[in-house]
Amino acid sequence: MLSIGDLSKRTGVKVPTIRYYEQMGLIEAAERSEGNQRRYERHDLERLAFIRHARDLGLDIPAIRELIALSQHPDQPCANADRIAADHLIAVREKLEKLKKLEHELERIISHCDGHSIEDCYVIRALSDHGLCEGEH
């Protein structure tokens, strides 16, 4: 039987975050001690590690909720789980594309400034006029 603090230390998830996950329905409401304190067991540890890992991979809470629900039905096909992951990969790739464009523009803008006065600053000028940009973003 672990206290919420023990669970926190073992998983690296902060105490208020564990309570938040419970509120969001990712973790079942834990059993309580006589004095109303949460008491956890091994399977809560595993559940929390699952959530933490999914969050680290960038999945949002509704997606994780769905994955947990799916994982309760081992005999069902896993097409939905695979689709959640695939959709997320698509979203990650879209963000990557945007960030690459930003990186490119920022590099270009910074390298074009000779670093003298604000009046001539290419950073300021480029921000004032998207026409100076090479691509869209």
Total chain residues near DNA (CB under 7 A): 21
Scan for tokens 């329905």, then name that residue. 25
Binding to Zn ion (CB under 5 A) within 20-59 occurs at: none
Total chain residues near Zn ion (CB under 5 A): 7
Give the DSSP H or E segment for 38: strand 38-39
Q: For the stretch 104-117, what's the b/e string if a residue is b when 16 or more beta carbons lie within 10 angstroms of its beta carbon?
A: ebeeebeeeeeeee
Residue ranges in contact with a copy of itself by CB under 8 A: 46, 49-50, 53-54, 56-58, 67, 70-71, 73-79, 81-82, 84-86, 88-89, 92-93, 95-96, 99-100, 102-103, 105-107, 109-110, 113, 115-121, 123-124, 127-130, 137
